[in-house]
Amino acid sequence: MYLKPEEITEIIKKRVANFENKLEVSEVGTVIQVGDGIALVYGLDNVMAGEVVTFANGVQGMVLNLEENNVGVIILGEYTSIKEGDSVARTKEILSVPGGEGLLGRVVNALGEPLDGKGPIESTRLYPVEKKAPGIIERDFVNVPLETGIKAVDALVPIGRGQRELIVGDRQTGKTSLAVDSIIHQKGRDVYCIYVAIGQKTSSVATLIRELTEKGSMEYTTVVAATASDPAPMLYIAPYAGCAIAESLMEQGKDVLIVYDDLTKHAASYREISLLLRRPPGREAYPGDVFYLHSRLLERASKVNLENGGGSITALPIVETQAGDISSYIPTNVISITDGQIFLETDLFNEGIRPAINPGISVSRVGGNAQFPALKQVAASLRIDLAQYRELEAFSQFSSDLDEETRQKLVRGEKLVGILRQPNFDPIDAEEQVIAILAANNGLFDHVSMEDMFQVESKLITFMRAKHSNLFTKIKNGEKLSTDDFDSLKQSIEEFGKTHLEMEGDHGPVTSD
């Protein structure tokens, strides 16, 4: 084949015209030690703290320690195939996860990778795992209620959208159930939910996902799972990843509820990483910045003003105590960061009072400003009444001869405790809570046995909804009830008591249709 000199000249000219003099420099280090999810890397002189690096086998890591001769990297994935001498390349990027509504209904790991077998995540943007919390000027007042559907919470320790309310108690006292009930109750309320499982058994997470699916709650929920079988770095990253997903929704003006279950295991994973990185240990072997670990996470939960989208992130962190000791290190740290706490007591749980909320220690520091006005009206004296009942109950154990007034107070207190009981996965609306508490305050349940209370309460609410649908709407819309409204409700409660409850001597009532 013969080529003309002009053609060769033309090709060379095109090549020269399209030539780009671009020099690519990549900084590569070498693994000098690896084990337990940690790698020490030599040669990354310009790497930044928090930067993502890539190992030779494709696994990512994040730089946590900057030493004079090496850097400490936490390995975000399988680390057993990484060995001494492997190359490590900088990416010059910080760790990010996908966000947006494409993650709703999905189960992902701490890196935002799908675990549910439903294909790739539909997301067009990545959100940084570590981000500065909104400042004072960007925030708005917490004044919109976040209904949990749990009478004892909404009446005694109400939560507002943008609040951080700690759930604290020993193991097996119903902490997760409380949080899951709150997620289930958000159905149809335009609140997106994120559940972050930290260090839990895989079977427990699977059970929770099944329960949310059966209740139709997975449609608006994302589960971020870092289970007990995952390495400590994944447990450490998980809550920050969950928060980044929540922020991606808040940016769109959405209201988000995020549950961190639980931060005790999160602190333990950070302690493990810190000790492996040879950071100096402090109290209970935790590193000195363990307070900052949780404060920089929980401060990201907020209600932002309309100029910044008007969205909110409500956080329900969970902390596990040992033998009810809330004065230990991690519980006191998180209590000082949050806007209140719900304390679940083992003794109450064992007595069958569930949720086992101790109203004496539990408090909400801002939720009262966001509570439904009607619920606030009927629950105003509830905390005092319960405290007096507990005091009388303790006193009555030492005296067999009680006067009628004291006996009546004990009965009323017992029924108030009874009306606040609630089965798992069965949250109820605010208007139904108002009726139940009002009826208990007015003595409807005084002669009802504890076994029959759920049945009588259900019939009462059906009766009242049919008779006072206008007042139910008023309560739901956040309006205050007038004296006439309360008189009307009390008359109907008395009518229900006369027509539906029949006295049977000292054996309590029987229900009749």
Cα–Cα distance, 340 to 205 (Å, whole number): 27
Biggest alpha carbon–alpha carbon distance for the chain: 122
Q: Is the dihedral of CA 144, 438, 396, 392 positive or negative?
A: positive
Nearest to 223 by CA among 259, 263, 188, 250: 259
- Three-state DSSP at 125 gives coil
Phi and psi dihedrals of 28, rounded to 5? -125, 135
- Residue partners of 211: CB distance under 8 A and separation at least 6: 180, 425
DSSP state of 97: E
Helix or strand run (H / E) with residue 349: helix 346-350
Question: Does the annotation count 365 as an active-site position?
Answer: yes
How far apart, in whole angstroms, are the C-alpha atoms of residue 29 and residue 44?
A: 5
Annotated active-site residue in 365, 390, 421, 465 = 365
Choose among 428, 423, 482: nearest CA to 460.
428
CA 390, CA 395: separation in Å to the nearest integer?
9
DSSP 193: E
Collapsing DSSP states into helix, strand and coil, what is residue 196?
Answer: strand
Which residues are catalytically annotated? 365
